[in-house]
């Protein structure tokens, strides 16, 4: 049993309901800040502030590409339930450090809250290049729980001025892409406008594109992912 002396230093006595709630709030506060203290990432408020500044600046006129991504740990509630919050915190810390190592230095990394991280890319990288980078990040994610089970992440992304020009709308588009990827089975990446995406440097016949679209719908996998798989097979065939 918890006693009031644990909170105030008074002589031991059973704590009141209000004191119990206070203790619970304090424990929750410590849990919430443990991951932030370890990672030292800016949080969700700063994510929105930085994105607002970029969208309101000269990025569009200067031709800079701005891409945002939301990264969510799959089945994270189950991790907390099975192994406890300390293990959950460790998974989040390892995930955050992995993301920071895996993206270019100029990419901004944020802890949005809970088990969600945010990324902002600004520069000359085309959205297709960012997509491939994030898909590789997803594929190479190797954080495990104490029982040795590999965890997975899901990613949703959106491109400024193409998907939306306002901060709230752009985040909504990325969140919508994340939701679609989760609904399709998790451990995936989705774009706000993925279904019709064709890399700008590639040319395909109408028949090829129609068949690709049909395959994408049948398998529930984005066209960009299928195209990358096909390219990987081609490179392996010629030992490149």
Where among 177, 194, 211 does a domain terminate? 194
Check pLDDT > 90 for residue 49.
Answer: yes
State the CATH number of the domain containing residue 51: 3.30.70.270
Residue 4 within any structural domain of the chain: no
Average pLDDT score, the chain: 85
pLDDT digits (tens, 9 = 90+) for 210-234: 788 888 778 776 677 777 778 878 8
SS3 at position 112: strand
Quick check: is 12 in a domain?
no
Sign of CA dihedral 85, 91, 94, 95: negative
Report pLDDT digits (tens) over 60-77.
888 899 999 999 999 999
Residue 174 belongs to some domain of the structure:
yes
Q: Give CA–CA dist 223/215, Å, rounded.
A: 8
pLDDT of residue 110: 97
Residue 18 lies in a domain: no
pLDDT tens sequence across 140-194: 999 999 999 999 999 999 999 999 999 999 999 999 999 999 999 999 999 997 5
From first CA to last CA, the distance across the chain in angstroms is 65
The pLDDT of residue 113 is 87
Checking if the pLDDT of 16 tops 50, the result is yes
pLDDT of residue 28: 54
Contact indicator for 146, 87 with CB cutoff of 8 Å: yes
Pair 181, 237 in one domain: no
Q: How much is the pLDDT for 7?
A: 46
132-142 b/e with 16+ CB inside 10 Å = b?
bbbbebbeebe
Provide the residue range defining the domain that includes 189. Answer: 26-194
User: Per the structure block, which two tokens stand in for 165?
Assistant: 């020009």
Same domain, 232 and 126: no
| pLDDT(135) > 90 | yes
Q: Could you tell me if 97 and 189 lie in one domain?
A: yes
| 57 in the same domain as 30 | yes
**Residue 201, pLDDT score:** 42
Q: Among 172, 194, 216, where does a domain finish?
A: 194
**pTM, to two decimals:** 0.70
Same domain, 140 and 175: yes
150: helix, strand or coil: strand
CA atoms within 13 A on the CB side of 87: 16
> Tell me, what DSSP letter sits at residue 25?
H
Q: Percent of the chain at pLDDT above 70?
A: 81
pLDDT at position 91, please? 97
pLDDT of residue 6: 45
**183 in the same domain as 77:** yes
85, exposed or middle or buried, with CB in 10 Å at 0-12, 13-18, 19+?
middle
Same domain assignment for residues 121 and 220: no
pLDDT class for 5, splitting at 50, 70, 90?
very low
pLDDT digits (tens, 9 = 90+) for 73-123: 999 999 999 999 999 999 999 999 999 999 999 999 999 988 999 999 999
Structure tokens at 174: 């990325």
Give the chain's domain count. Answer: 2
Average pLDDT over residues 33-37: 88
The confidence band for 195, taking pLDDT boundaries of 50, 70 and 90, is very low
Query: Does 181 fall in a domain?
Result: yes
In 10 A of CB 91, how many CB atoms?
22
Whether 94 maps to a domain, the answer reads yes
Q: Is residue 47 part of a domain?
A: yes
CA-CA-CA-CA torsion sign (215, 219, 222, 224): negative
Does 135 reside within a domain? yes
Burial 29-61 (b: 16+ CB within 10 A, else e): eeeeebbbeebebbebeebbebbeebbeeebee
Q: Which of 102, 75, 69 is nearest to 191 (CA)?
A: 69
Residues 106 and 206 reside in one and the same domain: no
DSSP state for residue 16 in the 8-state scheme: P
Let me know whether 34 and 121 are in one domain.
Answer: yes
CATH number at 211 reads: 1.10.1220
Is the same domain home to 149 and 31?
Answer: yes
Residue with the two structure tokens 């994610």: 141
Same domain, 154 and 87: yes
Do 185 and 227 belong together in one domain? no
């Amino acid at each position: 049993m918890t006693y009031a002396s644990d909170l105030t230093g008074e002589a031991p006595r059973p704590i009141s309901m209000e004191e119990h709630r206070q203790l619970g709030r304090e424990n929750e506060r410590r849990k919430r800040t443990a991951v932030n203290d370890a990672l030292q990432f800016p949080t969700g408020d700063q994510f929105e502030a930085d994105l607002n500044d970029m969208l309101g600046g000269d990025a569009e006129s200067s031709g800079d590409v701005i891409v945002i991504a939301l990264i969510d740990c799959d089945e994270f509630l189950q991790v907390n339930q099975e192994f406890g919050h300390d293990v959950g915190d460790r998974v989040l810390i390892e995930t955050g450090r992995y993301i920071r190592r895996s993206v270019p230095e100029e990419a901004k990394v944020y802890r949005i809250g809970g088990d969600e991280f945010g990324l902002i890319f600004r520069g000359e990288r085309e959205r297709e290049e960012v997509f491939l980078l994030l898909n590789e990040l997803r594929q190479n994610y190797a954080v495990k729980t104490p029982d040795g089970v590999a965890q997975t992440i899901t990613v949703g992304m959106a491109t400024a001025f193409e998907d939306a020009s306002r901060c709230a709308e752009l985040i909504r588009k990325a969140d919508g892409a994340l939701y679609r990827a989760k609904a399709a089975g998790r451990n995936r990446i989705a774009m706000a406008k993925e279904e019709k995406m064709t890399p700008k440097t590639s040319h395909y016949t109408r028949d090829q594109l129609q068949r690709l679209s049909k395959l994408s719908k049948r398998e529930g996998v984005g066209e960009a992912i299928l195209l990358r798989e096909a390219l990987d097979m081609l490179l392996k065939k010629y030992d490149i």
